[in-house]
Amino acid sequence: KSGNVTYYNNPMWPGEAHSLKMEKLLFQEKSEYQEVLVFESSSYGKVLVLDGIVQLTQKDECAYQEMIAHLPLCSIKTPKNVLVVGGGDGGVLREIARHNSVELIDICEIDKMVIDVSKKFFPELAIGFDDPRVQLHVGDAVEFLRNSPDGKYDAIIVDSSDPVGPAQELVERPFFETLATALRPGGVLCNMAESMWLHTHLIQDMLSVCCETFKGSVHYAWASVPTYPSGVIGFLLCSTEGGPPVDFQNPINPIEQLERAVQHRRELRFYNSEMHRAAFALPSYLRREVPCL
Ligand SMILES: NCCCCCc1nc2ccccc2[nH]1
């Protein structure tokens, strides 16, 4: 049926309602972990919703997928082994594949339905799974990392949903410690870090845990994503100690050099080295609130 899909009273945006006009309902089922919904919107293309929270739309997914992948990968010289936690829609894999220094892309997604739904309705994202470097692991990332050798990864990207469901454990201290152990010295972590307008306390909590856990550098960056409540989404960037210091604000491995190398992939729509630098400019209230920046 067509009409408006409106989300009231979600704890992620108390006191607000967010609405998109729906042309056609395409998929709605409960997986083992969450409700998975796909609909054709009037103005943002197809929309993927998990437990009532918009995860991506065809129109603005580029901002999120490109930033969460290239902010970390353009901050180190030659990323080789990369791990994606979550990311079952495949969009981040599509972006990582642009980096020809990458040799292995492990992805650990807990909900197979997200992968299957993306392949059916979002082929321009699920194309990420076609890259021969991708190794798919369906399951819990905590379990996956328990069996992973220390210091295996140059970069880890946590493309999670909100910590109000299957992703709850991904924002707690033990998991950040597990991530730090899985990274090589001077390795980088980038995880989805909510809205600086709505989740300052959650961001503050995550940042203070990361300042203690990652003895390298810890930074917060953000991007405009109109279909996320408050219109912005943040990224937490951390590097482990013991390697060359990582200066997140000045991409040591600029995407523009890579672009010349690999022409046949879909071109970037959002990320570039200027947007990379700009993403770390923070409002004063956040700079004051955020320790160790
Ligand atoms: N896994 C893709 C990213 C998911 C982000 C979901 C998200 N982004 C938000 C922004 C403001 C409020 C709630 C939000 N929930």
The answer to whether residues 55 and 48 touch, using CB atoms and an 8 Å cutoff, is yes
Distance of CA 187 from the midpoint of ligand 1 (Å): 25
Q: Are 219 and 251 in contact (CB under 8 A)?
A: no
- Closest-CA residue to 262 (of 148, 100, 146): 100
Residue whose CA is at the smallest distance from ligand 1 atom 12: 229
> Which of 252, 253, 245, 170 minimizes the C-alpha distance to 214?
245
Share of the chain above pLDDT 70, in %: 96
Residues assigned a catalytic role:
159
* Ligand 1 site-directed mutation target among 194, 197, 200, 235, most atoms within 8 Å of CB: 194
User: Whole-angstrom Cα distance, residue 41 to residue 57?
Assistant: 9
Using alpha carbons only, what angle is made at residue 111 by residues 91 and 198, rounded to the nearest 5 degrees?
Answer: 65
Q: What is the pLDDT of residues 46-98, one digit of tens each?
A: 999 999 999 999 999 999 999 999 999 999 999 999 999 999 999 999 999 99
Lining ligand 1 with CB less than 6 A are 12-13, 53, 55, 159-162, 192, 194-195, 198, 228-230, 233
Residue 44 has a pLDDT of 98
What's the pTM value of the predicted model, to 2 decimals? Answer: 0.96
